[in-house]
Amino acid sequence: MGYHRAGFDVTGVDVAPQPRYPFRFIQADAVGFIREHGAEFDFIHASPPCQYYTQCQRIQGREHPALIAPTRAALEDTGRPWVIENVDDAAPELRDPVTLCAAVFGMRTYRHRLFETGGGFTFTPPRHLPHLAPLTKMGRPRTAGTFAHYVGNFSGVQEARDDMGVAWMNRDGIRECIPPAYAQWIGTRVYASLLEVAA
């Protein structure tokens, strides 16, 4: 949604069906799709599954594939500008990532996401403000003066939709999403850089 708002014609790719996805969608392995079709696009935003990198999944002993490195390799071969997005715990796998925080965009949650850039594209994030509001405990409704923690079996799906601007998402999507404001911030900078190249 953020890239759409920034002026892009958006195509989403995922190995699993995404019936709530509001734009053109192709069900396919994303890394394979990037290898085969990535060069056909002006810009690529990749979000490899974060489960391999999250502490929660490691504590539960669940195994997941590490997909940042193969995703990066596929992106580098396209010759196009790109970003890879992932969670804080993936920082050791990312190269000089930039952090975006939801509070900077006026949301009542923090939701850090890291972005590695490539293909000649870089961006400067908005200033990261101190985290002054405490987080409501996981699974409990947000109380006055606190910020929400939209992970796990969190309380307040509609509040999360309103707060992050993701009206079409269910709880499962909200748990893993990046707010559209992040992609819009990045997208406006990508759009400007593409116009500079074309000029």
Predicted pLDDT at 129: 87
Predicted pLDDT at 149: 87
Q: Is 125:114 a contact under the CB 8 Å cutoff?
A: no
Name residue, tokens 């699974």.
139
Domains of the chain: total: 1
Predicted pLDDT at 198: 60
Write down how long the chain is.
199
Q: Is 86:112 a contact under the CB 8 Å cutoff?
A: no
CATH of the domain at 177: 3.40.50
- Neighbour tally for 74: CB within 10 Å: 21
Domain extent, residue 184, equals: 2-198
Predicted pLDDT at 196: 73
Give pLDDT < 70 ranges for the chain: 51-64, 197-199
